């Protein structure tokens, strides 16, 4: 057998051959995925847009055969489905992709790409520390999985510490010891990362409260284990008397959250203030068996509530804005695409951020996610979809769309 044809084939750039030059047939390998570095989306609005993110969802596949409590609460069973295949979950609203696991890389990519093309600069991850209690280990693991993908997509992040995680089973001194351990973990694992959010050249750390650690001296002690004290923001109206000690300034500001008081009154008087915008509020706690509602419903007003709060933040000239939230389905504050609202909050955000994209790119990102699920066991198609992902992160949208259409055509 002549070897010349094989030598010619080895020069074809679209494939990689092993065994070239042998008398048996070459083994053809697919061209490897080209991993592009992320490119930042251009925005005309300079305001930093950060979205509050819940990493606490678990599916049966990720949770030893049991749906996580944030889909079930006390009385819902996602294994129950209606005639359309819609699962029974503890929410008045239903994610467009259905209930998911927060640590699923496919889900993470879908979420972060949607954010990127909506003008979001980064996420603020709700985090319960390092205790081996309840679902805290899963939240910790999911957070680490999310952070790995953030770097690929080109988004930033910071931590919102849930100090209420110190409440159960610890004496006062033990709470401080545990909080110190949590801070040391954050410093060694996240604070030094290039894409960790910095304000005033220090890592941003937010606390949901504080609810459990309320003595200024305790916060001074907690931060004493860090090489660099963070830019520390408390929940609105929670900094006075709890995070400052004499001339030692623990808290440098506050952030706005959903409550019953007028939003206009909150945009004043802090060195660092992070504004807030949410679509509405409609929690499921009472229906889900988790007690009474924590707040009266706030009308979504066909998107006007979100739009007006965005406009208020712009009018108040906020440097930083927290979008409340990406995916708190239990409280109904999600801007993640749902069956009920579709992409409406993200397209509103695209206009506010001043990006050049519209709903079509969001729909293509949804298609990418759906195709990954459909062909999760098809190595060749997944390779093509992986390439589409890297086209998206590098803003090569037409190429990503082309590959998605190529895979769709094989259905």
pLDDT at 239: 86
DSSP state of 282: -
Domains in the chain (CATH in brackets) are 1-31 (no CATH), 48-357 (3.20.20.80)
CA 302 – CA 280 distance, rounded (Å): 10
Phi/psi of residue 295, each to 5°? -160, 145
Look at residues 295, 304, 358, 357 and name the one whose alpha carbon lies nearest to residue 328: 295
Please give the pLDDT value at position 246.
67
The pLDDT value given to residue 26: 53
347 C-beta neighbours (distance < 10 Å), count: 16
Partners of 203 in beta bridges: 198
pLDDT (tens digit, 0 to 9) for every residue of the chain, 411 residues total?
A: 433 333 333 333 444 444 544 455 555 467 899 999 999 999 999 999 999 999 999 999 999 999 999 999 999 999 999 999 999 999 999 999 999 999 999 999 999 999 999 999 999 999 999 999 999 999 999 999 999 999 999 999 999 999 999 999 999 999 999 999 999 999 999 999 999 999 999 999 999 999 999 999 999 999 999 999 999 999 999 987 666 666 677 999 999 999 988 898 899 877 899 999 999 999 999 999 999 999 999 999 999 999 999 999 999 999 999 999 999 999 999 999 999 999 999 999 999 999 999 999 999 999 999 999 999 999 999 999 999 999 999 999 999 999 999 999 997
DSSP state letters, 88-116: --SSSS-BTT-S--TT-HHHHHHHHHHHH
3-state secondary structure 310-366: HHHHHHCCCCEEEECCCCCCCCCCCCCCECCCECHHHHHHHHHHCCCCCHHHHHHHH
What ranges make up the beta strands (E) of 3-107? 16-18, 27-29, 48-53
What pLDDT score was predicted for residue 249?
78
CA distances for 284 relative to 245, 262, 281, 290, 303, angstroms: 39, 23, 10, 8, 20
Confidence (pLDDT) at 240 = 74
């Amino acid at each position: 057998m002549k070897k010349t044809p094989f030598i010619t084939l080895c020069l074809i750039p679209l494939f990689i051959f092993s065994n070239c030059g042998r008398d048996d047939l070459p083994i053809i390998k697919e061209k490897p995925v080209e991993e592009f570095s992320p490119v930042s989306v251009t925005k005309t609005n300079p305001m930093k847009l950060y979205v509050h993110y819940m990493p606490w969802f678990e599916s049966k596949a990720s949770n030893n055969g049991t749906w996580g409590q944030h889909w079930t609460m006390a009385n819902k069973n996602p294994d129950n489905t209606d005639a359309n295949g819609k699962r029974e979950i503890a929410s008045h609203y239903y994610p467009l992709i259905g209930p998911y696991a927060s640590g699923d890389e496919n889900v993470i990519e879908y979420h972060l790409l949607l954010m990127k093309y909506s003008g979001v600069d980064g996420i603020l991850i709700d985090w319960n520390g390092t205790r081996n209690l309840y679902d805290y280990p899963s939240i910790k693991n999911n957070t680490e999985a999310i952070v790995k993908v953030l770097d690929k997509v080109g988004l930033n992040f910071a931590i919102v510490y849930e100090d209420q995680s110190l409440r159960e089973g610890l004496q006062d001194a033990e709470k401080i010891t545990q909080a110190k351990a949590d801070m040391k973990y954050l410093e060694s694992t996240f604070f030094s990362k290039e894409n960790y959010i910095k304000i005033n050249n220090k890592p941003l750390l937010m606390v949901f409260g504080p609810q459990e650690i309320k003595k200024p001296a305790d916060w001074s002690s907690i931060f004493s284990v860090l090489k660099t004290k963070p830019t520390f923001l408390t929940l609105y109206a929670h900094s006075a008397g709890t995070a400052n000690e004499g001339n030692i300034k623990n808290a440098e500001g506050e952030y706005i959250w959903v409550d019953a008081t007028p939003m206009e009154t909150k945009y004043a008087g802090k060195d660092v203030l992070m504004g807030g915008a949410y679509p509405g509020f409609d929690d499921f706690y009472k229906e889900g068996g988790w007690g009474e509602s924590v707040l009266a419903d706030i009308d979504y007003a066909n998107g006007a509530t979100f739009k007006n709060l965005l406009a208020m933040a712009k009018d108040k000239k906020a440097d930083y804005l927290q979008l409340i939230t990406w995916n708190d389905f239990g409280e109904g504050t999600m801007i993640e695409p749902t069956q009920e609202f579709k992409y409406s909050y993200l397209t509103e955000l695209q206009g506010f951020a001043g990006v050049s994209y519209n709903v079509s790119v969001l729909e293509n990102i949804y298609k990418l996610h759906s195709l990954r699920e459909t062909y999760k066991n098809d190595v060749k198609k997944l390779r093509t979809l992986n390439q589409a992902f890297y086209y998206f992160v590098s803003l090569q949208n037409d190429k990503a769309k082309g590959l998605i259409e190529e895979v769709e055509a094989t259905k």
